[in-house]
Structure 1
Amino acid sequence: MDIQRQRKLFDRQASKYEMRVRKRGRDHQWRKRLLLSAKGNILEVSVGAGTNFSYYPQGASITAVDFSPAMLEKAREAALEENIQVEFILGNVEALELPEHSFDTVVSTLSMCAYPNPDHVLRLLSKWCRNDGQILLLEHGLSTNRFLSRLQKAFDPVYKKRIGCHLNRDIMGLIEDAPVIVQREEHAVFGAVHLIWAKPQS
């Protein structure tokens, strides 16, 4: 999908993402569990409406990136509500230039489904993370359940067109091929949701 069209799709969904921040659905349990490990100088890619902000430690240094101006506006509002300091960057993660090995924690939550080149993004996350840092991922993808995976594959074209992301990505396969070392992993919803604690390969 053309990046401009994808950006417009996410701009239109910004208010729905803001509602998720307040709704506190099941994904919040996963976010809280994962982000208990977040510390130091934190980079969050595809920050959306700032759903993760309430789970970061007080006083953390946070850099948040998104390519959607509407999403970043919602994220700014969320940062004010949480009374946290965040440096916001409007930009496409795949084309972003950040100093190498400059972040203690790199976070991606439910964003690998949308990138045109998720393998490239995973390499970038590893590059931006300090060698002794951590990469925290909460991602959804193709289920290990045959029936559910068939549904995901069938509905993927419609979901991509209307929502802007994929249902059928092999997230664990992408992570296995990425320059990261998985230290801990948890899976939910018939193997379609993954919580990953990792570090960059030296």
Structure 2
Amino acid sequence: MEINRQIKLFEKQAGKYAKRARKQTIDHKWRRRLLHSAEGNILEISVGAGTNFQYYPEDAEITAVDFSPTMIEQARGVAAEQNLKVDFIVENVEELDLPARSFDTVVSTLSMCSYPNPEKVLEKLGTLCKEDGQILLLEHGVSTNRLVSSLQHMMDPLVKNRIGCHVNRDMLKLFDESTLEIKRVESSLLNSIHLVWARPLYS
């Protein structure tokens, strides 16, 4: 089953994720910009090693989900260092059993590249977010630059096999076709990095 293979790949990478969580790499400027508006009862999926914790309010109520037990253990350490109260759940987000419309802020950063069914994950995020809440996404995908995109398509099978990540997904199309209302998008690095502010669509 593909999801089980994904879990094994990320289990092996947990130590590297933990080291990166404590370094100011290029992605931190995007995380900071996106997450400064995070508030209230926060749900973060694919929390990894807890890289985003430093950008949440000290009094935030945080629920952190990841399908990798080892990633969760790394994130626990980061949360303890920062004196954050976090409820951790080891689960595949598609199988997540939480009350609908229960979170003020729902966060996903650099995770849609890895899910077998990212459209279902986005739909799930919409159902978990309060009607007046916000969904914050930082994702990477295929560039609009023809040379870069051709390299991404060529490298995708290798990258997917080694680290469980697709580098050539059309994230903007994925967002547009999702069940979310996209409020704002900011793109950079030849349109391969996207910061997205969204909200759920409820009839």
Tell me the TM-score normalized by structure 1.
Answer: 0.98
Regions of 4+ moved over 6 Å: none
Task: Describe the SS at the equivalent of 2:34.
Answer: helix
- Work out the CA distance in 2 between the residues paired with 1:182 and 1:26: 25
Offset of residue 22 of structure 1: 1.4
Q: Give the unaligned 5+ runs of structure 2.
A: none
- Work out the CA distance in 1 between the residues paired with 2:188 and 2:78: 27
Q: Residue by residue, what CA displacement relative to the aligned partner does 1:86-126 show, whole Å, maximum 9, x if unpaired?
A: 00000011111211000000000000000000000000000
Q: Which residue does 1:100 correspond to in 2? A: 100
- Work out the CA distance in 1 between the residues paired with 2:159 and 2:101: 35
Residue type of the partner of 1:13?
Answer: Q
- Work out the CA distance in 1 between the residues paired with 2:20 and 2:94: 25
For the pair 1:114 / 2:114, whether they are aligned, the reply is yes
Offset of residue 5 of structure 1: 1.5
Offset of residue 69 of structure 1: 0.7
Count residues in correspondence: 202
For the pair 1:32 / 2:32, whether they are aligned, the reply is yes
1:7-156 equivalences under 5 Å are 7-156=7-156
Offset of residue 50 of structure 1: 0.1
- Work out the CA distance in 2 between the residues paired with 1:158 and 1:93: 25
- Work out the CA distance in 2 between the residues paired with 1:19 and 1:30: 18
Q: Give the unaligned 5+ runs of structure 1.
A: none
Residue type of the partner of 1:84?
Answer: L
Report sequence identity in percent: 59
Offset of residue 198 of structure 1: 0.7
- Work out the CA distance in 1 between the residues paired with 2:34 and 2:5: 31
- Work out the CA distance in 1 between the residues paired with 2:104 and 2:47: 17
Residue type of the partner of 2:184?
Answer: R
Offset of residue 43 of structure 1: 0.2
Please give the root-mean-square deviation of Cα atoms over the aligned residues, in Å: 0.8
Q: Which residue does 1:200 correspond to in 2? A: 200
- Work out the CA distance in 1 between the residues paired with 2:31 and 2:41: 18
Q: Residue by residue, what CA displacement relative to the aligned partner does 1:31-62 show, whole Å, maximum 9, x if unpaired?
A: 01000010000000000000000000110000
Residue type of the partner of 2:19?
Answer: M
Task: Describe the SS at the equivalent of 2:38.
Answer: coil
Task: Describe the SS at the equivalent of 2:22.
Answer: helix
